[in-house]
Structure 1
Amino acid sequence: MDNYPLLNIFWTMLELFLWILWFFLLFKIITDIFRSHDMGGWAKAGWLLLVILVPLIGVLVYVIARGRSMGERDVEQAQRADAAFKAYIRDAAGAAPGEGPGEGPGGRSHVDDLAKLADLKSSGAISEEEYQKAKEKLLV
């Protein structure tokens, strides 16, 4: 341990952390290149070659040139995932979107729907907030 002082350990940890960050950024950019719908195949191939062959310059140029649209694509993907999750919750709860008061689909009462919601909440599939929103939607 005398040959490797404490400061060298901290320096090695910092270098490891920076390498992990670098690879995370590199893979994030490569996935964004393939996810981008506003670029053609040749543009994607050019960006990919630039990022792979000259990584430091390629990544910096990509972040400068397309950083804003990269963030917008992340937000759109999160919104799509959220909408899919909410549709799944509605499906699992048995309530169709826009369904009014009274009986549910197939002649079920809202008591059955509330019981399913309670089961989803107790199993941890939905949060307390989602449970309250779905319950209010059923009872209105």
Structure 2
Amino acid sequence: MSGKRRNTITQLNSILPVPIELENHADDLSTSHVTDVLVGDYHLIGENASSYVVWTIKVTINDSSYSSIVLYKRYSEIEELRSKLVSVYPRESIPLLPPKNAFSISRITMNETWLEERRRGLQWFLTSVLLNPRYQTEVREFLLS
């Protein structure tokens, strides 16, 4: 009976698929490019005066719905991207971010209208920057950080 079992295992091994090998395609992002950006929902973190907003950003690579990256970024992180672009490309006109309005009552209360205006401003800025092929080095850093 052990001979019969050995034959069954041998037969099974001959029909099993080749094992899957995982490959690291992190370097492939250098040949890829962003083709769509969507600033979606926001998430309010915290409940008191030290609360802040995190934005959901969906980035599509090479027009493929299967090559999407979802990021969660604060306004300050997007502001850092802009600062870097201004320092690397000082002669170019880098789009502006929506204003901070630090003393606005709408901002302090996280008013829905204020949040939607900010979302639209971030959408315009990120679309202008992330889709620009000139900024791809900085875009890759932003996406992978």
- TM-score, length-scaled by structure 1: 0.27
Which structure carries more strand by proportion? 2
Which has the larger share of helix?
1
Bigger-Rg structure (1/2)? 1
Give the TM-score taking structure 2 as reference length.
0.26
